[in-house]
A and B are shown apart, each in its own frame.
Chain A
């Protein structure tokens, strides 16, 4: 294959140049094909791959926690905690057990303030907004051991010793994957170390039920609470603003939860749409009727008065307002 003559060099030079160019092109094509097929083979788990910069994210969060969030923990050793976490790389991606994180747990474990634990199912964003980074309550993600890995993904390569950055197994692929085993181990510990009032936020608009009978709370948390350290369970069943209002306290799966905890001889209290959390939900729906506020209640009263076009007796006004207020009260 001879290219058209150029201004430079003899015909022999041009031919050798052409040969080199074609060989280079051919090598590139081959390399591309190899990479493509290798890539296709690696993308075989159903979950996202290990986060880039996992170590920096992990260590940054660890140091942030022990020096800024809770300086009582400043003697913890973040590099040792990272090494213990990384030891999961010794196991293949579908053979990681919760107990493989025992050393990690021992190094990062810390006490949980009494009456401050918050457990949850099916409402991660609302729960973390409400907990407000340990200001109000503490979720598992607000502990040192949960915080370092929150929202992250990791696993080992199938045939290798490094992290797999292409894809990672989820429960769809296999039960004993690195991430699920991690959260199982941590959930058990967090429940075990909690004391006083145990708060639980559940989602009454979730079609599969507010209390999942198979889930982290049911399988790894409830079995590990310590009876002599828990004073009572306080459950909040929250409905999405505007509904659907599928389950409330005492209904459906909530009845199952109630029976289970009462059979275990725990004190049980359930509240629908706990007001404090409701205000937070209303932040995104300020104009919704579910979020009627005191200033709006006053304007409703004024509209009612103007309809009748005359001055009202103050006593009648009070009676009217009370009945109006009790009518709009959620």
Chain B
């Protein structure tokens, strides 16, 4: 304790004390800043390594561009807000464990982006990706999921996040074999379910007659869509079994897996009809193979 009048209470002493105090404070500030900076410069926790391809580069710009193309240019009557749609899309998986995604995560997005399609226009498909979409692109009388906003926006893209980051994981994403509840698989499962539930009237499906099991529960069609058609709205399913042009098409509709599809539908009170090699689809096949015998005389 310093008493008034003691030798230390001179100006010189006060100056020294003040100087020491300033140095101490400065020193504390320097040490604190160094600690904070050092912490910041620490590399972020490494992202988990998955077996699947990483999130698509510039996913936001690509998805937004597709949304504005579909909902702005092609279908302005849908009155969709693409920026809100992007926000809802991102929120579904960012900073979350990519093996633990649920349909609840996508609920806000689905509510914003889903839209009804007219009756008798639904085209489902299984193992006929290229042909089904070439068909709808040219004919326009039927629509696949990829011809609706939800499918159009996400077709061919990949995305996932991780709990330790606010960024997408561009290095890798879980393959469905690593975990089934990954952002991509859940998205397509949910969008397919909604698409099937909304179908009404006559529903068409394009199946591949050139593989051993044209219908099975390993596909989204077999495991999700067929079981979510609403029998109160859908009264008939027309099946087209497509073959490679050089193959015989004789009894494609009597294949055992097609019969299985028939019994599932009839059990759900939906009528069934089947056609091997729909002419319009064969025409698309002939575009690329005009010299095939099946393409003669046209």
Known contacts A63-B65, A129-B138, A293-B298; A51/B58 CB under 8 A:
no
Which range holds the interface residue count of chain A? Answer: 35 or more
Per the 8 Å Cβ criterion, residues 49-94 of B in contact with A are 56-58, 61-66, 68-69, 72-73, 82
Which residues of chain B come closer than 8 Å to A279, judged between CB atoms? 283-284, 286-287, 290, 295, 298
- CB of A325 closer than 8 Å to a CB of B: yes
Task: Considering the complex, give the chain A residue whose CB is closest to the CB of B57.
Answer: A67
Q: Contact flags (1/0) for B111-145 with A, using CB distance below 8 Å?
A: 00000000000000000000000110111000000
Looking at A189-197, A209-217, A283-291, the stretch in contact with chain B turns out to be A283-291
Task: Considering the complex, give the chain A residue whose CB is closest to the CB of B291.
Answer: A275
A interface: dominant SS:
helix
Q: Contact flags (1/0) for B215-232 with A, using CB distance below 8 Å?
A: 000000000000000000
Which range holds the interface residue count of chain B? Answer: 35 or more
Q: Tell me whether B65 and A291 are in contact (CB under 8 A).
A: no
Known contacts A132-B134, A136-B288, A283-B283; A294/B297 CB under 8 A:
yes
Which residues of chain B come closer than 8 Å to A151, judged between CB atoms? 73
- CB of A243 closer than 8 Å to a CB of B: no
- CB of A53 closer than 8 Å to a CB of B: yes
Which residues of chain A come closer than 8 Å to B57, judged between CB atoms? 63, 67, 74
Q: Tell me whether B73 and A57 are in contact (CB under 8 A).
A: yes
Q: Tell me whether A278 and B72 are in contact (CB under 8 A).
A: no
Q: Tell me whether B283 and A282 are in contact (CB under 8 A).
A: yes
Please, how many angstroms separate the alpha-carbon atoms of A86 and B293 in the complex?
A: 52
Q: Tell me whether A129 and B61 are in contact (CB under 8 A).
A: no
Report the minimal beta-carbon distance from A322 to chain B, rounded to whole angstroms: 12
Which residues of chain A come closer than 8 Å to B298, judged between CB atoms? 275, 278-279, 282, 291-294, 330
Report the minimal beta-carbon distance from A300 to chain B, rounded to whole angstroms: 10
Please, how many angstroms separate the alpha-carbon atoms of A53 and B64 in the complex?
A: 10
Please, how many angstroms separate the alpha-carbon atoms of A279 and B297 in the complex?
A: 11
- CB of B44 closer than 8 Å to a CB of A: no
Residue from B57, B286, B290 whose CB has the most chain A CB atoms within 10 Å: B286
Q: Tell me whether A56 and B139 are in contact (CB under 8 A).
A: no
Per the 8 Å Cβ criterion, residues 242-267 of B in contact with A are none
Count, A-B residue pairs, CB within 8 A: 111
Which residues of chain A come closer than 8 Å to B295, judged between CB atoms? 275, 279, 294
Task: Considering the complex, give the chain B residue whose CB is closest to the CB of A280.
Answer: B287
Which residues of chain A come closer than 8 Å to B61, judged between CB atoms? 56, 59-60, 63, 78
Q: Tell me whether B62 and A56 are in contact (CB under 8 A).
A: no
- CB of A297 closer than 8 Å to a CB of B: yes
Which residues of chain A come closer than 8 Å to B73, judged between CB atoms? 51, 57, 151
Which of A57, A129, A280, A286 is within 8 Å of B68, CB to CB?
A57
Known contacts A56-B64, A64-B65; A325/B297 CB under 8 A:
yes
Please, how many angstroms separate the alpha-carbon atoms of A323 and B243 in the complex?
A: 29
- CB of B5 closer than 8 Å to a CB of A: no
Report the minimal beta-carbon distance from B282 to chain A, rounded to whole angstroms: 8
**Partner-B contacts on A (CB < 8 A):** 51-53, 56-61, 63-64, 67-68, 74, 78, 129-130, 132, 136, 151, 275-280, 282-284, 286, 291-295, 297, 325, 328-330
Closest 5 CB pairs of A and B: A60-B65, A63-B58, A279-B286, A53-B68, A275-B290
Q: Can you pick out 23 interface pairs between chain A and chain B where the beta carbons lie within 8 Å of each other? A: A53-B68, A57-B65, A59-B61, A59-B65, A60-B64, A63-B58, A63-B61, A64-B66, A74-B57, A130-B287, A275-B295, A276-B286, A276-B288, A277-B287, A279-B286, A280-B283, A282-B283, A291-B283, A293-B279, A293-B282, A293-B298, A297-B296, A325-B297
- Besides the contacts A276-B287, A279-B286, A279-B290, what 10 more A-B pairs have beta carbons closer than 8 Å? A52-B72, A56-B64, A60-B61, A63-B61, A64-B62, A129-B137, A276-B288, A283-B139, A283-B283, A294-B296
